[in-house]
Structure 1
Amino acid sequence: MQYTLIGDNDYLFSPVDTIFKNRGVTNKEDILNLDESKCHSYKLLKNIERAADLLIRHINEGSEVFVQADPDCDGYSSTSMIINYIKKSFGKCNLTWHLPKGKEHGVEVKNVPNNTKLVIIPDSGSNQYKEHKELQEKGIDVIVLDHHICEEESKDAIVVNNQLSPLYPNKNLSGAGIVYKFCQALDDKLGLNNADNYLDLLAIGNIGDMMDLREPETRYLVKRGLDNIQNPMLKEIIKKQDFSMKGTVNIHNVGFFVCPLINAGVRFGSNEDKKQLMEALLESKEEVYYKKKDVYESIQEATARNLGNLRNRQNTARDNSTEKIISIVESSNLKERSIIVAKVGDFLDKSLTGLVANNLAKKYKKPVVLLREKENGIFTGSARGYDKGNIKNFREHLLDTDLFNFCEGHDNSFGVEIETERLKELEDLLLKTKEESTGTGIEVDFEIPFNDIDKQLVLEVGEYKNEWGSTIQEPKIIYKGLTVAANDISLIGKKKNTLKLIVNDIEFIKFFVKKEEYETHFSEGETFYIDVIGKCSINEWNGVRTPQIEILEYKVTETLLF
């Protein structure tokens, strides 16, 4: 087993404080004891009141309003939030929306109906200066509700963006967060209290966009949203994923079991799949015929099932493509460089480029750029950083080379464009740059020898189960030299495929263990010495709380036969 110890291994005196410190949180109370005081006034967002006044005027005048969605989880959350809010707050209105067919960000003027008077662009569009000007020349107003970094404020649109608002301290709020703040501004002007109805969409958007949830305001709003899921589409996805989520709606579970389904629908679905997903998020009451069971069901139920199928197909395609690119990386010795830059062909679906780049960054523990030829002389693609490496802001790192036409998106997840003649310069630069080792294997907070095993530590860390997720990753521990008697080792469960070890009143559990594996390691012997890497949890049954370690990896280091 390969692992890397992070932090100072203080498991004896203040293990929970050490875990938070290892994640950049010096005082855990700052993000655990959250309340309304952590929130900043929407009024600190530049242009937000002008934007709210403009929308109210257009609605009152009966103007045609057009909303342009962005193709990801945050984009769909933002779009459905603003549309749901407008419909609930204003009643009947002339509103249409548009979904991108691929990964195009922002508005395309050709898609805006001729009679439109107002365009709203949530979660993108800040740097679409050309499009803003073209729309203004047509007599169409533009409101941008965004959170992406851009160089300057547009002169031809009302842009509400926390990155362009010097007075707004929270730069870790996604597009759905900015839309929520916009709804708060509308509430105040309209004398309503509707914005909080959409905190569940805010939560999904911020988790899906991997916002830094060490930010107190963002964390507070996300947790409020998770505590009160109202959107019928989100309810249906959570219902479908109930077994995997073990009935618990928290940051980790939503990040692993809810947001990926929505992203699969957006990235891998057909145009009809995407339209159905948006209709479901917009609380449509439509019923859809389910041929297999010869029944009609809600659009939300049908969509949730379809998202599961799309994600399975997406994951198969992603894994196959990842293996092909790994072979390219290995055969070309690209993995020896500080940054992996690889050209990909048509075998990699454009919708999967970011997912595959992310897989490669995790595998090689270094930043990755995947490029494909867009047209003669131009390559575009996706870049993913490795936040545990030495390059903390990969986007800025690439921009500092002055080789790319653009690097647009987030610090460690963004799109790029580069000209062919500059690729050679980039390769030469990478050959000269060496990156320090970032360690290998699973990152663990504690390395605990058998003599120091303490069930109280497991219980204490397990109490924080709902706090893990996103930038506050779930802690892992390696136990060295567990001494386990043969009669404390068994295969349990209905299918007899769960390995269970009992050590010092702690249950060590590993799921999906085959009988052959069990017999290979434990069929002969009286005592076994085992190293285990796992996660802390608490198993509650009939009022009894049992400390439990979910085994990620284990190794039998020695067996005593007698």
Structure 2
Amino acid sequence: MKYRLINEELNDKRKVLSITEIVLKNRGIDDPEAYLNLDDTALYHFSMLSNIDKAVEMLLKHIGNKSVIGIIVDSDCDGQCSASMLYQYLKEIYDDNNIIYFIHTKKQHGISPEIIIPESVKLLLVPDAGSNDVIQSELLSKRGIDIISLDHHEREVKDNPFAIIVNPKWDDEYPNWELSGGAVVYKFLQALDYELWENKADKYLDLVALSLISDSMDLRSPESKRLVDKGLSNIQNKLFTALIEKQNYSIGGIVNIINIQFYITPLINGMIRSSTLEEKELLFKAFCQMDEEFDYKKRGETETVKEDIYTRVARLCVNNKAKQNREIDKSLEEIIPKIERFGWDKNKILFVNADDLDNSYTGLVCMKLSSQYSKPCILLRETSWKPGYLGGSGRNYDGSPIANLKDFILSTGLFSMAQGHASSFGVEIEKENIRKAIEKVNELLKDVEFETQYKVDFVLDAREVTIEFVRELDKLKDYWGNNIKESLICVKNICFNTKDLQIMGKELNSWKFSINDDVMAIKFKCSEDDEILKLSSSDWGGTDIKINSIGKLNFSSYNGIITPQLILLDYEVVQIKDCTC
């Protein structure tokens, strides 16, 4: 069990600073008081985005010309949100017979080759993508098609002169780089509102919030956090509402960032990865609130009932997420023996041949492997579109000593492409360079140790774990999210007797006991080698134990009973029998 105190100086100031102040300062927020009380002064005016005026002018020109306008729906939650916002807004101001949309067949992005843009389209809108699609943009431009990219991805090319690019990461003037595709579309809709004397853009703030959370934007940004607050406080979209109702038990009726992140976004992305093209289109229609009813007969029932599109899509999301999980488990069962047999895990970065893996699951499997082996992972397969090249995904794990895996991979000079986020991106490399890349990575990282090291806010003695401390930390429960990570605590000198343990769970692999008669310590889903479970089962008379632990402090609510708890992520036994605390 390895840990590092984020800021020892702040840890020592607990008598001066509040717990919430220390936690937020540890996450790089200089003014916690302002962050906890954001208002609309945190928002920047849409006009600060370069090219947004040109994009509005271009769209209105095509509306005036009664052009056919196409929208590409990118293949993730942010893509669905941003495209559906555009579609719904355009339907209100333009003949929807002249608006068509294109949905990716699998997990492609942007103006990908499988999407055929018909000759009738004169303007192509590419939300959440398109900035770096220079070759595709040039081909469409030569056909007389205008392109507007409303994007937020980093610059991977020198320029794209064949499209109007509205992208804060391509913009030296806009102060906030932490906008999602949905948030960039929202700024565009605000600009349209201004030009058309309308007030429609704010109707889509719930989808803006969903897109910011789902695309893991840095919510330390005051503007991005304010947009999330406004969106989650007034959820109107019918599909978003149906998904929340579907997951109500899991989220305990609490709609906040971390619950959206863990229980809503995965359903949507699971649907996108695992569904048929027909189901993907149904998902988009539901996001666009195209009311529709279907005949539905539940399994084992004889009677057919009516099912609205939102209930249907929510049900299909759950089914496809379950299908995705089964496929991932199956893929891991096939890949892990290969890793062990060929010794791929001996390399500093886990390079894995993924030729037999469904392309839709590459990123998720890569993430699972990175977490399991506690090292960065690159999954590669032969590309069908570029002979002699391998393509795939790169993922980093939480606590990795490499802060920006994408930049590190590019720094080798052997990868022809790495696009996306710092710890989650697509990669491409010439097949003949893969061996050289592995050797170079091993050399560059020869002195780097990859292991899980927990970053903790506080180191406490067990006697300091009180209800008051839990209550203070619980004030931040609605703030936990990307880069405002839930607080981890190191608690030392926890003493108990194994006869006081309660063994729980269907598999009898979880346990709990009380600390200080106030806070319940809980360890879920332990392995067969769990030391405390072994001691508990072998000594019925009870054994005194002292442990140090890493965990999360919060409140649980079950059957109306609220319990302060320390959820253990890791622990070490420091003494058995004759324990002094």
Relative to the length of structure 2, the TM-score reads 0.88
Residues 541, 134 of structure 1: alpha-carbon distance in 2 compared, 3 angstrom cutoff: closer
> 1 CA distance for matches of 2:34 and 2:447?
34
Match of 1:81? Answer: 85
Please say if residues 119 and 141 of structure 1, whose CA atoms lie closer than 8 Å, have aligned partners that are also in contact: yes
Match of 1:538? Answer: 555
Please say if residues 204 and 254 of structure 1, whose CA atoms lie closer than 8 Å, have aligned partners that are also in contact: yes
Q: Does 1:141 align with 2:141?
A: no
Please say if residues 44 and 165 of structure 1, whose CA atoms lie closer than 8 Å, have aligned partners that are also in contact: no
Matched residue type, 2:352: A
> 2 CA distance for matches of 1:527 and 1:390?
37
Deviations 1:408-441 (A, max 9, x none): 2222211111111211221221231225235436
Please say if residues 153 and 164 of structure 1, whose CA atoms lie closer than 8 Å, have aligned partners that are also in contact: no
1:462-501 equivalence runs, <5 A = 462-484=474-496, 490=502, 501=513
Match of 2:312? Answer: 302
> Which has the larger displacement, 96-105 or 403-412?
403-412
Match of 2:566? Answer: 549
Residues 250, 361 of structure 1: alpha-carbon distance in 2 compared, 3 angstrom cutoff: same
Q: CA deviation at 1:384?
A: 1.5
Q: CA deviation at 1:366?
A: 2.8
Deviations 1:53-106 (A, max 9, x none): 221222233221110111111111111111112123446551110101022222
Q: CA deviation at 1:211?
A: 1.1
Deviations 1:530-551 (A, max 9, x none): 5554322235799997533334
Match of 2:376? Answer: 367
> 2 CA distance for matches of 1:488 and 1:89?
67
Please say if residues 207 and 251 of structure 1, whose CA atoms lie closer than 8 Å, have aligned partners that are also in contact: yes
Q: Does 1:356 align with 2:371?
A: no
1:85-100 equivalence runs, <5 A = 85-90=89-94, 92=96, 94-100=98-104
Q: Does 1:31 align with 2:35?
A: yes
Please say if residues 62 and 93 of structure 1, whose CA atoms lie closer than 8 Å, have aligned partners that are also in contact: no
Match of 2:516? Answer: 504
Q: CA deviation at 1:262?
A: 0.5
Residues 138, 359 of structure 1: alpha-carbon distance in 2 compared, 3 angstrom cutoff: same
Match of 1:7? Answer: 6
> Which has the larger displacement, 64-73 or 132-141?
132-141
**Secondary structure in 2 matching 1:147:** coil
Q: Does 1:449 align with 2:454?
A: no
1:428 to 417, 439, 451: 439
Match of 2:109? Answer: 105
> 2 CA distance for matches of 1:36 and 1:245?
28
Please say if residues 463 and 516 of structure 2, whose CA atoms lie closer than 8 Å, have aligned partners that are also in contact: no
Match of 1:67? Answer: 71
1:315 to 313, 321, 325: 325
Please say if residues 412 and 441 of structure 2, whose CA atoms lie closer than 8 Å, have aligned partners that are also in contact: no
Deviations 1:133-183 (A, max 9, x none): 222222221111111122233222211111111101111111111111101
User: What is the RMSD of the two structures over their aligned residues, measured on CA atoms?
Assistant: 3.0
Matched residue type, 1:520: S
**Secondary structure in 2 matching 1:363:** helix
> 2 CA distance for matches of 1:168 and 1:385?
28
> Which has the larger displacement, 442-451 or 363-372?
442-451
Match of 2:537? Answer: 520
Matched residue type, 1:176: G
> 2 CA distance for matches of 1:490 and 1:388?
31
> 1 CA distance for matches of 2:539 and 2:555?
26
Matched residue type, 1:218: S
> 1 CA distance for matches of 2:345 and 2:508?
41
1:383 to 371, 379, 394: 394
> 2 CA distance for matches of 1:395 and 1:550?
33
Relative to the length of structure 1, the TM-score reads 0.90
**Secondary structure in 1 matching 2:383:** strand
Q: Does 1:20 align with 2:18?
A: no
Aligned length: 558
1:186-265 equivalence runs, <5 A = 186-265=192-271
Residues 522, 425 of structure 1: alpha-carbon distance in 2 compared, 3 angstrom cutoff: same
Q: Does 1:393 align with 2:398?
A: no
Please say if residues 483 and 530 of structure 1, whose CA atoms lie closer than 8 Å, have aligned partners that are also in contact: yes
Deviations 1:448-503 (A, max 9, x none): 22333333211111121111122211112233332347896557999999855333
> 2 CA distance for matches of 1:344 and 1:469?
31
Q: CA deviation at 1:118?
A: 1.1
Deviations 1:204-243 (A, max 9, x none): 1121111111111111111211111111111111111111
1:166 to 172, 177, 182: 172
> 1 CA distance for matches of 2:517 and 2:68?
66
Instruction: Give structure 1 stretches of 5+ with no counterpart.
Output: none
Instruction: Give structure 2 stretches of 5+ with no counterpart.
Output: none
